[in-house]
Amino acid sequence: MSNPRQPAHPIDPLFTERWSPRAFTEEAIPAAQLMSLLEAARWAPSAYNVQPWRFIYAHRDTAAWQPIFDSLVEFNQMWTKRAAALVVIASAREAVFPGKTEPVPNASHAFDAGAAWASLAFQAQLSGWSAHAMAGFDADRLRTAIDLPEGYAIDTVVAIGRKGDPAVLPDGVRAREVPSDRRPLAESAFEGSFGAQG
Ligand SMILES: Cc1cc2nc3c(=O)[nH]c(=O)nc-3n(C[C@H](O)[C@H](O)[C@H](O)COP(=O)(O)O)c2cc1C
User: Are the C-beta atoms of 34 and 160 separated by less than 8 Å?
Assistant: yes
- Strands 152-161 and 130-134 turn out to be antiparallel
Number of domains in the chain: 1
Q: Which of 125, 132, 169 to mutate to test the pocket of ligand 1 (most atoms within 8 A of CB)?
A: 132
The string of pLDDT tens digits covering residues 127-164 is: 999 999 999 999 999 999 999 999 999 999 999 999 99
Query: Ligand 1 — pocket residues by CB below 6 A?
Result: 19-20, 76, 133-136, 156, 180
Would you say residue 178 lies in a domain? no
pLDDT of residue 3: 72
Would you say residue 16 lies in a domain? no
Please list, residue by residue across 128-153, b when 16 or more beta carbons sit within 10 angstroms of its beta carbon and e when fewer do: ebbbbbbeebeeeebbebbebeeebb
User: Are the C-beta atoms of 8 and 68 separated by less than 8 Å?
Assistant: no
Residues 6+ apart with CB under 8 A from 23: 79, 82, 163, 164, 165, 166, 167, 168, 169, 174, 177
Would you say residue 85 lies in a domain? yes
Would you say residue 110 lies in a domain? yes
Would you say residue 35 lies in a domain? yes
pLDDT of residue 58: 99
pLDDT of residue 195: 80
Domain of 157 in residue numbering reads as 30-164
CATH number at residue 35: 3.40.109.10
3-state SS assignment for residue 141: helix
Residues of the chain with pLDDT under 50: none
